[in-house]
Amino acid sequence: MTVLQINGLTKRYGAITAVNNLNLQIAAGNVYGILGPNGSGKTTTLGTVLGIIRPDSGAYTWFDGQYGTDERMHIGSLLETPNFYPYLSPVKNLELTAHIKKIAAPKIDPILELVNLAQRRDSPFSTFSFGMKQRLAIASALIGDPQVLIFDEPTNGLDPQGIAEVREIIQRIAGEGKTIIMASHILDEVEKVCSHVAIIKQGRLLASGEVGAILSNDHQVDIAAADLGRLRELLAGYPGVNSVVEKNKVLQLQVSPALTAAQLNQLAFDNGLVISHLVLKPKSLESEFLEITAGK
């Protein structure tokens, strides 16, 4: 089932086009990352499909239209950290959330277990760390057992431990079969958490698809020798070497997966060169992102 279909979505603020003719299709069960630098239109896109922001043109459809005007009852969202009552416990705050959502019998205890707050179920919200507050915000989005969760920069401002905790929670939620749509500018988190990604810049969609498909099959090799010029001549045009860039006295190669580090080392040795540095690594989403967005 298509959870969300976006067609030609456009939103302008005066002379600024925040979202520019955006087309996306998100299937059920995806963990879909909307990736882009700050100001790229991610939050505007999420606010629009949640009905908070009115688009200038284009349209979107949730759940193939099967829920009609009740679609929001099946969506949980975290666009900003909600305002909880500081002197109430997580249980009492979530009961208020359930009352606002008109959920008669919320399953609060399992949700607190999921977000690792069960042991603090009776502690005042005012005693929580920022990471704990963010996890309670995720718990609030889960009230009512929605099919889709929308998170806008869920790890923003967290320390490394907090980022790891939120990442694990998102993975648990996804493991229950829910669809997650997550906007982020942190490439590493998208690569670790998401099954699919859309890359946007200045409101325009530049690429979308499975994370594995967005990443090219090329590997990156960093290689160096005392005679760097000779090494570069040797590698330029060599089968399997797709590009050579010199940076900080190291050659950065994009090579096909079939070309091994041992082959490169042997090539240099056969031509009288001693390799002083050789590192083979898969291409990252960061390098792919920079290539896709360069000059666009």
Q: Which residues, including other chains, have CB under 8 Å from residue 182's CB and lie 6 or more apart?
A: 31, 32, 33, 34, 150, 151, 152, 154, 170, 190, 193, 194
**Contact yes or no for 224/275 (Cβ under 8 A):** yes
**Contact yes or no for 4/188 (Cβ under 8 A):** no
| pLDDT score of 254 | 84
Q: Where are the domains of the chain?
A: 2-214, 219-293
Average pLDDT over the chain reads 91
82: tokens are: 């909600």
Q: Tens digits of per-residue pLDDT, 158-217?
A: 998 999 999 999 999 999 999 999 999 888 888 889 999 999 999 999 989 988 777 666
SS3 246: strand
How much of the chain exceeds pLDDT 90, in percent? 71
| pLDDT score of 188 | 80
Q: Which CATH superfamily is domain 2-214 in?
A: P-loop containing nucleotide triphosphate hydrolases (3.40.50.300)
Q: Tens digits of per-residue pLDDT, 20-31?
A: 999 999 999 999
Pick the CATH number of 219-293 from 3.30.590.10, 3.40.50.300, 3.30.70.100, 3.90.45.10: 3.30.70.100
33: tokens are: 């990352």
Q: Tens digits of per-residue pLDDT, 126-142?
A: 999 999 999 999 999 99
This prediction has a pTM of 0.79
